[in-house]
């Protein structure tokens, strides 16, 4: 739905949301949020977490621990064992994260949907024509992690991670008002392309995209933090073997993950725009599924 389809009061609300979260010094606010969230002073910590829970509808009942040293520690919380059962069907590719499916479907040649009326290409997103060609006419799902959700992400299937490509960039918000207004938003924002292969060699790509207040990414397969101050190298080799559901890393606060798969895979019937999905739930189907 674009602005013309919305009632006047909704258009005003979305315009105000966009202005307040984007027409601001995004980089400076993001650096400040990163610093502030790590303050371990008890009063600052307690007030920050209380306000976040009040306005963000945060559920901490599934957290592995009850006491947090800082707001950041709470943001990147682990969940207790068994909180996210993983679909055991070997022909199912599962969601790597909790979130809302904001776009999904077949890739039209090399073109993907961002929001109604707005598109971007694989090569613009990945910066690599050869890599983009592997997913031409494939399928994709874009899962947005809101600020109140669980912020860690996991392997969608048994796979091997061969390398990670980091792209410095902007920190536009990734909520619906911004997606409807900023052309090629995902290609502008800071992001990483995590290249994986299933046991049979099928490529699956995860693209975590940063946003305002969320400009750093921790991956277990790399011994470093990818963030706005990182100067390179931007293509990082690694060799990590993961089982379906294994933790891959986390966003510092939350954002979006785009999952790309080749044309041999298809979306799971329940994967539709607007679906609230949880880590480990079916997202795509492998051939024969």
The reply to whether 255 belongs to the active site is yes
Determine which one of 151, 253, 255, 268 is catalytic.
255
Q: Is the pLDDT of residue 276 over 90?
A: yes
For range 91-97, the mean pLDDT: 97
Mean pLDDT of 169-175: 84
Residue 238's pLDDT is 92
Residue 255 phi, psi dihedral angles, 5° rounding = 180, -120
Question: Cα angle vertex 116, ends 112, 121, to 5°?
Answer: 20
Q: Is pLDDT at 33 greater than 90 in this prediction?
A: no
The average pLDDT across 167-184 equals 88
From residue 286, alpha-carbon distances to 18, 93, 265 in Å are 38, 7, 5
- HEC states along 130-191? HHHHCCCCCEEEEEECCCCCCCEEECCCCEEEEEEEEECCECCCCCHHHHCCCCCHHHHECE
CA 105 to each of CA 12, 96, 177, 246: distance values in angstroms, whole numbers, following the listed order: 30, 17, 21, 25
Dihedral sign, Cα of residue 179, residue 183, residue 187, residue 190? negative
Distance of alpha carbon 172 from alpha carbon 182, whole angstroms: 8
Q: How confident is the model at residue 22 (pLDDT cuts 50, 70, 90)?
A: low
Average pLDDT over residues 197-209: 96
Q: Are strands 276-277 and 99-106 parallel, antiparallel or unpaired?
A: antiparallel
Q: Is residue 77's pLDDT more than 80?
A: yes
* CB neighbours of residue 54 within 10 Å: 9
CATH class of this structure's domain 92-285: mainly beta
> Is the pLDDT assigned to residue 10 strictly greater than 70?
no
Q: Please indicate whether residue 154 is annotated as part of the active site.
A: yes
Mean per-residue pLDDT of the chain: 87
pLDDT in tens, 230-258: 777 789 999 999 999 999 998 765 589 99
- Predicted TM-score (pTM) of the model is 0.89
Please give the Cα distance from 216 to 122 (Å, whole number). 22
Q: Is the pLDDT of residue 109 over 80?
A: yes
- The one catalytic residue among 98, 151, 170, 227: 98
pLDDT at 25: 58
> What pLDDT is attached to residue 130?
95
pLDDT > 60? residue 19? no
Domain parsing of the chain, residue ranges: 3-75, 92-285
pLDDT of residue 68: 95
175 is written with which tokens?
A: 């909520």
Instruction: Report percent pLDDT > 90 for the chain.
Output: 61
User: Which residue among the candidates 37, 48, 70, 154 is catalytic per the annotation?
Assistant: 154
Is 137 assigned a catalytic role? no
């Amino acid at each position: 739905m674009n602005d013309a389809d919305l009632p006047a009061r909704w258009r005003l609300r979305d315009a105000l949301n966009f202005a307040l979260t984007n027409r601001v010094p995004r980089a400076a606010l993001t650096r400040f949020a990163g610093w502030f969230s790590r303050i371990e002073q008890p009063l600052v910590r307690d007030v920050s977490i209380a306000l976040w829970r009040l306005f963000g509808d945060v559920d901490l009942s599934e957290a592995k621990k009850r006491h947090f040293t800082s707001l950041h520690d709470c943001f990147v919380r682990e969940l207790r064992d068994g909180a996210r059962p993983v679909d055991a069907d070997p022909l199912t590719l599962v969601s790597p994260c909790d979130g809302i499916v904001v776009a999904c479907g077949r890739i039209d040649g090399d073109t993907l949907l961002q929001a109604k009326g707005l598109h971007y290409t694989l090569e613009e997103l990945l910066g690599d024509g050869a890599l983009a060609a592997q997913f031409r006419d494939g399928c994709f799902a874009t899962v947005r992690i809101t600020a109140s959700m669980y912020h860690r992400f996991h392997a969608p299937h048994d796979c091997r991670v061969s390398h990670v490509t980091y792209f410095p960039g902007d920190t536009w918000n990734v909520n619906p008002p911004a997606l409807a207004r900023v052309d090629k938003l995902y290609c502008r924002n800071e992001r990483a392309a995590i290249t994986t292969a299933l046991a049979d060699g099928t490529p699956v790509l995860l693209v975590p995209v940063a946003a305002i207040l969320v400009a750093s990414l921790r991956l277990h397969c790399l011994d470093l933090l990818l963030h706005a101050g990182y100067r390179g190298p931007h293509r990082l080799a690694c060799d990590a073997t993961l089982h379906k559901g294994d933790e891959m890393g986390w966003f510092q606060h939350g954002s979006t993950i785009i999952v790309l798969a080749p044309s041999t895979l298809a979306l799971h019937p329940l994967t539709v725009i607007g679906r609230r999905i949880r880590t480990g739930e079916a997202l795509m189907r492998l051939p024969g599924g």
